[in-house]
Amino acid sequence: MSPEIRRRDGVIRLARPGTEWLSTGWNGGRRSADSAYNVSVPEGWARTDLAAYADERLERAGFEDAGPVLFTGVDADHARGARCGPVTACATAGISNPAALPMSPAGGTLPEPSSVEDSPTGTVNVLVTADRRLADGALANLVAVAAEAKAATLLVETGFPGTTTDAVVVGHDPDGEPAAFSGSATPVGAATRACVREAVQASLRARYEDDTDRPESLADATYGVSTDVQARVFEPSDGNDR
C-alpha cells in the first residue's frame, strides 16, 4: 500500500500500514506503527502533558492509529508533501526561532537547558518513509540524510541551517525490497534528499507567501539563538599515552 498524507483539524498524518519508524522528536526512538504525525499547536501553547495532549489532538482529528508525534508552531495548512521513487515526505517549515551557526564564533557560553526547549514557535519538521526494507544502520542514517537535506535547503532559502526545535521522523517497510544503505548516492538517499528539499521549499513558500513576518536575520526573528560558544580543538591520542 502506498503512503498517504492527510491533513485534518491541525494534524498531519503520514500513513503506511506496518511501518517501522525512527523519531528524533518527543518520546522518540524506534517503534512499529501504521502512521506518524505532525501536530500544529496554537500560539502561546504551554502544555507539558504531551502524551495526553497528543492523544486529545489525534482523537479530535479522527485519527485512530497510534504512532510517533511531532509538534510544530507552523499552521498545518502550510504543510507540503513530496514523492520521488521509493520515498514519500512531508514537511512544515517556519523560522521564527532560527538557530544560527556562525563559522567565526564571537565566543560565549552554553545555553541554559530550559532556554533551548521552549514551545515550537516555528520549527522545521520532516516526516519521511521509504518503500524499502532498510538495514538498521541505513534507517538510522536516513535521519542524517533528511536532516542534511533540510539544513542545505534552509541555508539557501533563509540563511539559517535550522531552528531551535527541528525534528525528523523516518520510516521503512519491514517487508519491502531490502536496501543495505541509504546514503546520498543510493536510490533511497537521493530520493529522500529530493523529497525533503521540495517539501521544505514548498512549505516555506506557503508559510511566507507575503513575506511580512519572514526574518531575514537573527535580529529580525521573534526568537532564536546563535551558537557563539567555541569548542577547544585537539588532536586524537596516538594510543601510546599511559
pLDDT tens-digit readout, 15-45: 999 999 999 999 999 999 999 999 999 988 8
Ranges of residues in the chain with a pLDDT under 70 are: 113-120, 240-242
Q: Are 111 and 225 in contact (CB under 8 A)?
A: yes
Domain boundaries, the chain: 4-226
Task: Using DSSP, state whether 166 is helix, strand or coil.
Answer: coil
Which residue's C-alpha cell is 563559522? 103
DSSP character at residue 185:
T
The pTM of the whole model exceeds 0.85: yes
Per residue in 197-221, pLDDT tens?
999 999 999 999 987 789 999 999 9
- The pLDDT score that the predictor gives to residue 120 is 62
Report the distance separating Cα 178 and Cα 86, nearest Å: 12
- The pLDDT score that the predictor gives to residue 158 is 96
- The pLDDT score that the predictor gives to residue 227 is 94
Assigned architecture for domain 4-226:
4-Layer Sandwich (3.60)
- The pLDDT score that the predictor gives to residue 119 is 58
